[in-house]
Amino acid sequence: MAFSDYKVALVTGASGGIGGAIAERFAKEGLTVHAVGRNKEKLDELADRCGCVAHAIDIADTQAYRDLIASLDVDVMVNNAGIDHSGTIHTLSADQIDAQVDINFRAVLHGIAAALPGMIERDRGHIINTTSIAAAYSFPSNTIYHATKAGVRALTNNLRHDVYGKRIRVTELCPARVATEIFGKVHGNPEQTQKDFVDGYEILQPEDISDAVANAVDAPSHVNVSYIEVFSTFQVEGGLRFERYTAK
C-alpha cells in the first residue's frame, strides 16, 4: 500500500518532536492527519503549518481518547506519545510510575483496541508503535520507561497475529537518541540537558525518523516493514559493567 491507498492518519504525541514531524510528513503526502497531544498551542501551530486537525486531549483519559478514535476512520495510527521519569523502580513515586504506564502503555492498548475494528472491516490499515532502544537494550536508570516500551514491543509482535489474514500492517519504530524536548522534560533543566545530550553530537533529527516511517507506509501492500531501528552513525549500544565488590 502506498500513501494513496490511505485517507486518514492519527498521530499521538504530535505536540512536537517525532510526532510533529510524522504528522507534517503525512500531511504532505496527502493524508488527513489528526494530531493528538496535550499542548494546544503547539498543536495549533502544527495545524497552521501543515493543515492537520488538532486534538488537544490527554490520552490517559481513556474514554475521551476512545471516543475520538470512534469518530474517525483511521487508516494509519502512530502511537508515539510517551513520557519518562529518570529513576529506578524504588526511587520513583507511585504517581511517576502510574503516569508512565498510563501514557506509554495503557493508552496504546486502548487506542489500538478502538481503531482496529474499523481497519479489520475495511481490510486496510497500518499501525506504527514507537518504542525506543530502551525496549531492546538495558542501561542504567529509567526503569519504568524501559518496562513500558518493552511492553509495547511485545504488544506489537503479538498484534501481527491478531490481524493475520487481513491487509493490516504493524510496524515497531525503535529510535535511538533524537533531538527532541524529552531530555529537558525528564531532567527538568532544558538548557543543561541540551548541552548534555544534544550539543556537540551528530544526533538524529525528528525528520530522520519521519522519513523512515514514510518509507514503511509507502511500501507496496505485500510488504510489512515490521521493525525499524534507527541510530546515529556515531551512536552504538551495548557494553558491560562489572562492579568489584568487597564484603565489609
Question: Where in the sequence numbering do the catalytic residues fall?
Answer: 145
Nearest-angstrom CA–CA distance, 214 and 30: 12
3-state DSSP assignment of residue 51:
coil
| Whole-number Cα distances in Å, 35 to 40, 98, 135, 172 | 10, 24, 25, 19
Nearest-angstrom CA–CA distance, 181 and 150: 22
Nearest-angstrom CA–CA distance, 11 and 33: 7
Q: How many residues can be counted in the chain?
A: 248
β-pairing, 168-175 with 125-130? parallel
> What's the gap between Cα 16 and its chain centre?
12
3-state DSSP assignment of residue 124:
coil
Question: Phi and psi (nearest 5°) for 42?
Answer: -70, -35
